[in-house]
Amino acid sequence: MNSLGFLPGMQKKATIITKCSNFTVKKAANNETVYSGKVTGPLHQDDVNQDVWIANFSKVKEKGKFYLDIPGVGRSSDFEIGDKVYDFAFYTAMRGFYLWRCGTAVEGEHNGLHYAHAPCHMQDGYQDYIGIENSKRDGTGGWHDAGDYGKYTVNAGATVGVLFLAWDHFQDHLKNVSLDIPDTAPGYPDFLKELKWETDWLLKMQYPDGSGKVSHKLTRLNFSPFIMPEKDSEKRYFTDWSSAATADFAAMLAMAARYFKPYDAKYAQTCLQAATKSYTFLTNNPDNKRPNLRAFRTGGYQTSDTDDRLWATAEMWETTGEAKYLKDFEARAVAAGTGRKRSGSTSKIDENWDWGNVRNLGMFTYLLSEKKGKNADILKDVRGDLLSTADAIVAKGNKDVYGRALNGRYYWGCNGAVARQTLVLQVANKISPKPDYVNTTLDIAGHLFGRNYYGRSYVTGLGHQPPLNPHDRRSGADDIKEPWPGYLVGGGHSARGWKDVQKDYRTNEIAINWQAALVYVLAGFANTHTSAPADDNIQVTEREPDVIFVPTPQVVVDKMLEMAEIKTGDVLYDLGCGDGRIVVTATKRYGIKTFGFDIDPKRVRESLANVKSNKVGHLVTIKQADIFTLDLREANVVTLYLLPELNVKLMPQLAQLKPGSRIVSHDFDMRGAKPVQVYHMKLAREKDSKEDNEDKEDNFRGIFEEFLEEDFGETVEDIFWDKKHAIYKWIVPWEKEATTPPNQE
C-alpha cells in the first residue's frame, strides 16, 4: 500500500498477495475496529505472475494511525490518514534539487543525519569543443543531472518544464512553502528560487558569439568515479550545439520570463531576450542539428528537434502573445509526425513521454492558455486527445493490480514515466474535472511509495523500506550508510527486474527528469491544508456589496444541491459565496470542483477559513471578484442567493453556459426565464433541541446585528424560522417566462 498514507476524503486501496476474504481497519493506538470489508479477487496479472486481492477502505475518513488486520494473512504496517501525509515527502523531494546544486556548497538534515558537500566544479567550463581552444568561461551553477555530475540542456528541458507546470497548477499551496534553502533569489518563493538556480546556469549555455546557439551539455569527457563532487577536478567542457537543446532553452527561458516576472521584472526580461535570440536562430536554421559528441562518453540525450521546436513556439506565444508564435505552433501541431509517437497513433497527446518527446508540454500550454486567437478546430482536437489519453491512463491504472498505469511497459527510467503520467491526468482534470483522474493520480503516488510488486518505496529516505543503494556518486562516496534523501530511482526493465544495487545504473539510478515528475505528483496534494491565499491578496473594495449577507440554512443548501442534480465531473460556481457553505458542502458531498466568488473581503475571509477547516482546498477555490465581470462558461452548475434584479442582470452571462447547465437560486426568481422547478420549504424548528434552536437564532442575530435597528417588520425568530424558503431551478437554455405561474411542488 501507499506507505506515506492517505488523504481523508480520497480513495484508499491495498494489494494483498495471499489468499484472503475479509479485512478490518483498526486504530494503531488501541486496536479499535473502524471499518470492516471484503476484498475483491483473486485477480491475476501476468507480468508479475501473481494472484492478488484488493482491499478498498476508502470509506474510512477518520484521521489517525491505523493498520489492516487480515485473517489468515496478518497485520499490515501502520499507516496514516491525514491532511499532511504528502507534505514532508514533497519538501524532501523538492529539496533534492537543492542538494543537487553544482558550483556551491550544500547541506541538509534528514532523519538525524547530516548530508553535505563542499563547493564543486568551480572551473566550469572550457570551450575547446565549440571552437575556442584553451579558453574558459563561466559555466558554474545549475544542477547535477543524475547519479553523475554532468549538466545537460535537453534533460533540463523536461525537468524545468515539468517543474514550472507544477508551479502553474499548484502555486496557491506552494508559494508559502519553505524549503529551508539559501536565499539565492531574494523575494522569490522558495520553489521558484530553486528553479532560478537552474535558469541562471542555463543562461550561460548560449554560445558567446551572440548567435543564439546553445551547447548540448557541459561535462567531462567521461564519467567520474564514485567520488564526492568537490573531488572531481577533471576538465569539463561546453559541447557542440544542438537544435533540440536550443529549442528547449528557448522554451525554458520563455517560461522563466513569465513566472519570474512578478518577482524580478529585469531578470524576466533577460530570460525573454535570451529565449527570443535562440528562437530567432532556430527560425533561420530550420534543419535538425545533432551535436558532435564523439569525444565524450557521458550522457548523450540525442534527440530530433520536432517536439522541442513545438514546445518552444507554445511558450514564446504564451509569454509574448505575439501572433507569429501562435501561427508557428498551430502549423506544427497539425503536422504529421510531430515528436516521437507510438506507431500508428494520431493523438496529439502522449501517455508515455520524457526528454525525447516533450510535445505534451507545448500542448498543455496551448490548451490551458487564456489568450485569444486559438484555432477552434485545433483546440478541439487537442482537448479531445487529452481527455482520451487521460481516460486510457485511468483504464490501465484500474486494470493493473498495483495501480501502475504504464500498461506493462518497463524500461530505463520507467518510474519517472509513471510519475509523469500524472501531468496528463491533472491537466485533464483542470479542463474536465473527474474524480477518476485524481484517484488514478493518487494510485500512481501509492505505487511509487510502496503499492508495488516489491512492497517498497522507490524514493530514498521516504516510505517503507526505501532504496538503500541508488546509483548516485554522492551516496556511494560519503561515509553515511543511508543514501541522500528524497530521490526517485528509475525502476526495473521488467516487472520483477529492479535491483537495489549501486552499480545497476539501468534500474537504480536517480535523475532530475524523473525527480521533477515525482515533485509534480506530490505538489498536487501537499500543503493543501494551507492553500488559502494570503490575507494580503484580499483587497478592500470601494464598491459596496450588492446584497446584505444572509446565510442560507444548511437544509436549504442541501436541497439546492439535490435539485442541481450534481454528477461526477461537474464544476459549480457560487456567485456571492458568503461564508462558503455551498461550495464546501458540494465538494465534501459530491467530490466536485467548486468556485466561490464574493466582492466583500469579510466574506472571502470567512469562506477561506471554512475551506481550510473542512480540508477541501484541493478542490475548492475562493476568489474575491465582481460577479458581473466573470466568465461563467467553465461552470455547469451555478448557485445564487441574490435579488431578482441582480439575477436578471446576470442573465447575459448565464446564457453563455453550456447546454444542460443548471442554475439554482435561493428565494428569488429570474424574471424573463421560466424555471423548470420551484420548491417551497419551511424550516422545522422541532427537529433540534431548544438550545440548538436558540444557538442558530443567536448566530443569525449576530450576522444581522448591524441591520436590526432597521424596521424589518418581523422578529429575528420570524425571519429565521417562519419564513418560507423558495428554490428556483433553470436548465440552460431556459424557456422564456410564461404568463402563467410554473407548477410548484
**Residue-level pLDDT at 469:** 98
- How many other β-carbons are positioned within 10 Å of the β-carbon of residue 535? 10
Phi/psi for 520 (5° steps) reads: -60, -45
Q: Where residue 536 falls among pLDDT bands split at 50, 70, 90?
A: very low
Q: Where residue 541 falls among pLDDT bands split at 50, 70, 90?
A: low
User: Residue 517: inside a domain, yes or no?
Assistant: yes
**Residue-level pLDDT at 358:** 97
**Last residue of a domain, which of 478, 495, 528?**
528
* Strand-by-strand arrangement of the 151-152 sheet: 151-152, 217-219, 237-238
Kindly state whether residues 130 and 235 are assigned to the same domain.
yes
Determine whether 472 is an active site residue.
Answer: no
**Residue-level pLDDT at 551:** 86
Residues 635, 379, 389: CA angle, nearest 5 degrees? 85
User: Under DSSP, is residue 139 helix (H, G, I), strand (E, B) or coil?
Assistant: coil
User: Residue 741: inside a domain, yes or no?
Assistant: no
**Residue-level pLDDT at 111:** 85
Kindly state whether residues 514 and 544 are assigned to the same domain.
no
Whole-Å CA distances, 64 to 10, 68, 78, 522: 15, 13, 10, 20
Determine whether 737 is an active site residue.
Answer: no
**Residue-level pLDDT at 257:** 98
The grid coordinates listed for 601 are 473581503
Query: Concatenated DSSP letters for 275-331?
Result: HHHHHHHHHH--S------TT--S------SHHHHHHHHHHHHHHH--HHHHHHHHH
Whole-Å CA distances, 360 to 238, 312, 421, 427: 28, 12, 11, 11
End-to-end CA distance of the chain: 49
Task: State the catalytic residue, choosing from 83, 87, 148, 478.
Answer: 148
Name the packing angle between helices 306-320 and 153-170 (round to 10°).
40
Kindly state whether residues 305 and 405 are assigned to the same domain.
yes
Whole-Å CA distances, 230 to 106, 121, 696: 11, 7, 67
> With b meaning 16 or more CB within 10 Å and e meaning fewer, what string describes 159-186?
bbbbbbbbbebbbbbbbbbebebeeebe
pTM above 0.75, yes or no: no
CATH number at residue 67: 2.60.40.10
Cα 668 from Cα 616, distance rounded (Å): 29
Return the percentage of the chain with pLDDT > 90, whole number.
81
Kindly state whether residues 646 and 560 are assigned to the same domain.
yes
Kindly state whether residues 272 and 305 are assigned to the same domain.
yes
CATH number at residue 399: 1.50.10.10
Kindly state whether residues 309 and 238 are assigned to the same domain.
yes
Task: State the catalytic residue, choosing from 478, 509, 579, 600.
Answer: 509
- Sequence-separated (6 or more) residues with CB below 8 Å from residue 469: 475, 483, 500, 501, 502, 508
Look up residue 708 and give its amino acid.
L
The per-residue pLDDT for range 14-66, each reduced to its tens digit, is 999 999 999 999 999 899 999 999 999 999 999 999 999 999 999 999 999 99
**Residue-level pLDDT at 391:** 97
Phi-psi region of 738 (alpha: psi -120 to 50; beta: other; left: phi over 0): beta
Residue span of the structural domain in which 498 resides: 87-528
**Last residue of a domain, which of 27, 56, 81?**
81
Cα 98 from Cα 566, distance rounded (Å): 44
Region 238-251: mean pLDDT is 98
492: pLDDT strictly greater than 60: yes
**Last residue of a domain, which of 81, 96, 129?**
81
Going through 538-689 in order, the beta strands assigned E by DSSP cover 571-575, 593-598, 620-624, 637-640, 662-666, 673-674, 677-682
Phi/psi for 86 (5° steps) reads: -100, -5
User: Residue 192: inside a domain, yes or no?
Assistant: yes
User: Residue 590: inside a domain, yes or no?
Assistant: yes
CATH number at residue 587: 3.40.50.150
Kindly state whether residues 253 and 384 are assigned to the same domain.
yes
Kindly state whether residues 354 and 498 are assigned to the same domain.
yes
Phi/psi for 580 (5° steps) reads: 85, 10
Determine whether 500 is an active site residue.
Answer: yes
**Residue-level pLDDT at 338:** 45
Cα 582 from Cα 63, distance rounded (Å): 24
Total number of domains in the chain: 3
Task: State the catalytic residue, choosing from 78, 264, 381, 500.
Answer: 500
Region 133-137: mean pLDDT is 95
Residue of 535, 632, 528, 533 lying closest to 574 (CA atoms): 632
The grid coordinates listed for 703 are 450576522
The Cα diameter of the chain in Å comes to: 92
Kindly state whether residues 478 and 617 are assigned to the same domain.
no
Residue of 20, 92, 741, 728 lying closest to 449 (CA atoms): 92
Determine whether 471 is an active site residue.
Answer: yes
Residue of 152, 156, 295 lying closest to 222 (CA atoms): 295
Region 403-423: mean pLDDT is 96
The grid coordinates listed for 76 are 499490515
* Average pLDDT, rounded, for the chain: 90
> With b meaning 16 or more CB within 10 Å and e meaning fewer, what string describes 283-311?
eeeeeebbbebeebebbebebbbbbbbbb
Region 178-204: mean pLDDT is 96
H-state helical runs in 53-121: 87-99
Residue of 432, 436, 449 lying closest to 394 (CA atoms): 436
The grid coordinates listed for 18 are 495471499
Going through 619-661 in order, the beta strands assigned E by DSSP cover 620-624, 637-640
Residue 88 and residue 80 in contact, taking contact as beta carbons nearer than 8 Å? no
Kindly state whether residues 330 and 449 are assigned to the same domain.
yes
Kindly state whether residues 352 and 367 are assigned to the same domain.
yes
User: Residue 364: inside a domain, yes or no?
Assistant: yes
The reply to whether omega before 147 is within 30° of 0 (cis) is no
Kindly state whether residues 50 and 155 are assigned to the same domain.
no
User: Residue 743: inside a domain, yes or no?
Assistant: no
